[in-house]
Structure 1
Amino acid sequence: MALTALVPKKQLLEKLMLATILILGWLTLPNILTTIEPTAALLDAGIWQLILLSLLCYVALLQMTWWLLYRFWLALGLLNLTDMVLQFKQLSSWQQLGFFWASFALLFLAGIACLAAIV
């Protein structure tokens, strides 16, 4: 029982370590690049910074989404996610396959809608 109490703290520590590594990498990458290649321009380092910044924003957005989903989940009074996964595994194979196809179709439709909104 003591091990299950430590799991959320461990996950939080891992997430904080990842964020710290990404932020430190974002700050120190231009200096490292200029020491490795002295002829590197500022734009060369800026491209790598943009890649790291996009990765950092993606991780932050993903964590915020999971947190909001958890909060809405509790507010609606739904089952735990582990219970829903267990119920999903109890479905027959054709029901699971139908759910996967429906999820794929909705994801594909959302991607097309995003592309249509850009154009």
Structure 2
Amino acid sequence: MKFFNLPDERVRREDTPIFKPSVPVLLFIFLLLTWCFLPQWLHRIDETAGNIDQSIWLLILLSLITFLLICGLCWWLMQQFWLVLQLPPIEMMVSQFKVLPIWQQLSFYYASFALFLAAALGCLIAIC
């Protein structure tokens, strides 16, 4: 029995463009291009820079790329689960969140930020 009917987002509407680049996609492309061309740029700036000097920056950049990929994958999985479980619209959940006392809202924000920061740090530690 369905309590909430969500529109099927898999069906493309005529008014939506096929490819709409967003800020995370452009950032990801920029990071990939930087990762490819950073060793040549570092060698042009400082000809005495060895491969180890270049590799440190590449590892940090690779951990940032990994973190963005993990965030994107988690967001996509959450959207798929949202469609399958037929949860209520996000507007309804946000309106219920705003009813909470301010200390509960702040504790949720801080917990979310701490988990997000721990995931980023975990990606950096795993790569480096």
Asked whether the two chains share a fold, i.e. TM above 0.5, the reply is: yes
**How far does residue 14 in structure 1 lie from its aligned partner after superposition?**
2.4
Bigger RCO (CA 8 Å, 6+ sep): 2
What 5-or-longer segments of structure 1 have no aligned partner? 115-119
Q: Identity over aligned residues, as a percent?
A: 38
TM-score (norm 1): 0.68
TM-score by structure 2 length?
0.64
- Indicate the residue corresponding to 2:8 in structure 1: none
Equivalent residues, number: 100
The aligned runs of 1:37-116 (5 Å cut-off) are: 37-93=46-102, 96=105, 100=107, 104=111
Hey, what does 1:17 align to over in structure 2?
Answer: 26
Runs of 4+ in 1 over 6 A off after TM superposition: none
Q: Secondary structure at the match of 2:32?
A: helix
In structure 2, the residue matched to 1:117 is none
Superposed displacement of residue 59, structure 1: 0.4
Q: Could you tell me which runs of 5 or more consecutive residues in structure 2 were left unpaired when the two chains were aligned.
A: 1-14, 123-128
Cα distance change, pair 34–93 in 1 and its aligned pair in 2 (3 A): closer
